[in-house]
Structure 1
Amino acid sequence: MNTMLKDVMTELESLGSAQTRKTYLRHGATEPLFGVKFGDLRPLQKRHRGDQVLAETLMETGNSDAMTLALLIADPTQVKSRQIDAWLKPLQYSLLVGMVADLASRTSCAAAKWKKWSRSPQERSLAAGYTLLASWLVHDAANVPDEIADAALDRIEATIHDVPNQARHAMNQALISIGIYLPAYHDRAMSVAKAIGKVSVDHGDTSCKTPDAAAYIERALKSGRRKRPS
């Protein structure tokens, strides 16, 4: 273990707490992990932002806190397409799956990843595809191709109730983001949201909920707060 990695891992361990660790495990985090709050990761993120080498070594540890930090500091201009796939492949923790998708949404291969992941029969990759789209719309809606928005809405309307659990939640997120961030698609997104109705997602022993898409879109636009749904 190189000195930088060792120092960061030691700091992460010192920031962990049993209570936070318990909370993360309840939300699906995998061992090993220390239980570091996101607020406590921010100074480390600021200090190491863009350090792609450190991000890669942190991902190799398999520690959930270390991988979270890795995805916070990874440089979207340096990360390679194959590396993104390799990072996603072993993940089970939905938070990290979402963070890989968010990172991918800020790379030059965002469209390619959407096309690949959004057609995957695997829950993890399918969820990543729609989370990528939701994130892409937040970061850079003007550069999301119409063909992707059209395909997403078609598939969401046709399949959302039949796809695996986490993919249903991700599709709902994408639908909301389309309705909020693409004004030309507002009416169609609202039509799809009303057609699919309530989306049932099992969030386990947590307080997380999947919002009603139509109501969320309307509230967000009315309030002017275009916050991505959690």
Structure 2
Amino acid sequence: MSGTKADGAAVDDGVVDEVLAELAGLEDPKARAVNERHGDDHGVNLGKLRALAKRLRTQQELAYRLWATDDSAARLLAILISRPKAFGREELDTMLRESRTPKVHDWLVNYVVKKSPHAEELRLAWIADPDPVVASAGWALTTERVAKKPAGLDLAGLLDVVEAEMKDAPDRLQWAMNHCLAQIGIDHPALRPRAIGIGERLEVLKDYPTPPGCTSPYAPAWIGEMVRRQNAG
């Protein structure tokens, strides 16, 4: 993401420096320690970062400049103040491939790509990408379609791929495929027994530590709990 765009005036270097200084002032060593345990490399409390974004409001050109710093906190802020529909397909593809830390990757997919007119085209390209981090974004977009726009998806075919590949997939790709498996089981009763069966056979995330009161990411348990809540409601 670079260059001055027609939909926004050039941003003075001083403005960028001021925002970066404010982000630096939000640095919290305790937050950094927690984030680093999850693979992230910033120490800014996300609640304070969101408050800063709310104050700045949408500023597409400033978002471009912040993204170009290659700093994770600045990129998270860039995502929050950007205009999702302003990005071209190739821009989003490049940004996704630059997003190697989990939080930047997740926010880019959820807050920008999902709202983009290029989301479906990117979903199809990414889900087949040999880079597992990129592929995980494709699976995340597929899960969104399973939940909101399943028409036209080959759900049984998706289960075939999950059954064949999820067990040995790298962590982030495995997590994304598991979410898709669970979503199919939750939203599509005809495929629920098969989804649960796949989860039981593969046992992916079966022993994942889950705090009291939280839902396990183990697909059979996840499906069962969400269906129970649907029926109770």
TM bracket, shorter-chain basis = 0.7 to 0.9
**What's the offset of the Cα at 1:111?**
1.6
The offset of 1:52, in angstroms, is 2.1
1:176 matched residue in structure 2: 182
Q: Which runs of 5+ in 2 are unaligned?
A: 1-11, 210-214
The reply on whether 1:220 has 2:220 as its aligned counterpart is no
Deviation at 1:181, TM superposition (A): 4.2
- Report the counterpart of residue 4 of structure 2 in structure 1: none
RMSD after superposition? 2.8
> How many residues are matched?
214
Gap change, CA 1:108 and 1:28, over 3 Å in 2? same
Deviation at 1:202, TM superposition (A): 9.7
For each residue in 1:76-109, what CA deviation from the matched residue of structure 2 results, as whole angstroms up to 9, or x when unmatched? 2212211111112223212222222222122222
Q: Distance in 1 between matches of 2:37 and 2:159?
A: 32
Is 2:81 the partner of 1:52?
Answer: no
Greater relative CO, 1 or 2 (CA 8 Å, sep 6+): 1
Over 3 Å counting, the alpha-carbon distance change for 1:187 and 1:92 in structure 2 is same
Deviation for aligned residue 1:221: 2.5
Determine the C-alpha separation between the residues in 2 that align with 1:76 and 1:109: 10
1:162 equivalenced with 2:171 (yes/no): no
Which residue in 1 is equivalent to 2:89? 81
What is the SS of the residue equivalent to 2:70?
Answer: coil
Is the 2:208–2:218 Cα contact (8 Å) retained in structure 1? no
Mapped contact 1:156–1:175 kept (Cα < 8 A) = yes
- 1:19 equivalent among 20, 25, 30: 30
Aligned 1:59-208 pairs, distance under 5 A: 59-102=67-110, 103-136=112-145, 141-147=147-153, 149-182=155-188, 185-199=191-205
1:41 maps to 2:52: no
More deviation, 89-98/12-21: 89-98
- C-alpha distance after superposition, 1:171-201 (max 9, x if no partner): 1122223333455654443343334333479
Q: Which letter maps to 2:16? A: L
Larger radius of gyration: 2
